Amino acid sequence: MADLIPHIDVNPKGKVKALVVWMHGLGDSGHGFAPLVPELRLADELGIRFVFPHAPVKPITINNNMPMRAWYDINSFDFNQRADEAGVRESAQALQQLIDYELDANQLSADKLVIAGFSQGAVMAYHLGCRQTQPAAGILALSGYLAMTDKLPTELSEAAKKTPILAMHGTQDEVVPCQLGKASAQAVKQAGFDLRWQDYPMQHNVCTEQVADISAWLTKILAD
């Protein structure tokens, strides 16, 4: 078996009953969102294990080829051509291997899995979640967009359509414009997915109200 992608984890106090795999954004690392877990104030009985993978370091075209952690290269400011398809697919393969390992190691079924991400991580959450062979408990896409929109209808999994999706975005986001997030969410809905959209008066970040909404959503979908 190949080495798993590097990651950190935050474990529940008791038995692991559910799994959240959460991908960070460009230039960040798995450490970026790990401190959010206590702020979610999730009940111990939910038994949620959080796994935060680290993206590989690679040169980013639009940043003068500066090396940084990224799930894929960003080739252009044109959002239709923004995501490097080969990079998305390569990262998806590594992340899927991690997901499969975690489910097996913790003796969990797919209906106890949440695939989450922020910005580039949300791109990966959409990509992975919509292609799962078994319905997951949920997909959480924060301040992100859908890569390769034209390929979703032919690559999606019919089983994955049963997975609830929560897409969240800041109305003042200047990194990934809210309109792009909305258009992506609409494309996912049109493909047959059950998607809920929420926006907040914020920029490219996470706000307190949003954290409370995420907590309520996770509690709902992962409750026994």
| Spatial separation of the C-alpha atoms in residues 148 and 82, rounded to whole Å | 9
The question of whether 173 is a catalytic residue gets the answer yes
Full strand arrangement of the beta sheet holding 113-118: 7-10, 48-53, 18-23, 113-118, 138-142, 164-170, 194-200
In the set 28, 73, 84, 173, the catalytic residue is 173
Q: Mark residue 217 as left, alpha or beta (left: phi above 0; alpha: psi -120 to 50; beta: remaining).
A: alpha
Q: How far apart are CA 60 and CA 98, in angstroms?
A: 24
Please confirm, yes or no, whether 119 is among the known catalytic residues.
yes
Q: Which of 24, 73, 91, 119 is catalytic?
A: 119
Residue 204 appears among annotated catalytic residues:
yes
Q: Residue 142 in 3-state DSSP?
A: strand
List C-alpha distances in Å: 35 to 21, 73, 178. Answer: 14, 26, 25
Task: Kindly list the catalytic residues.
Answer: 119, 173, 204
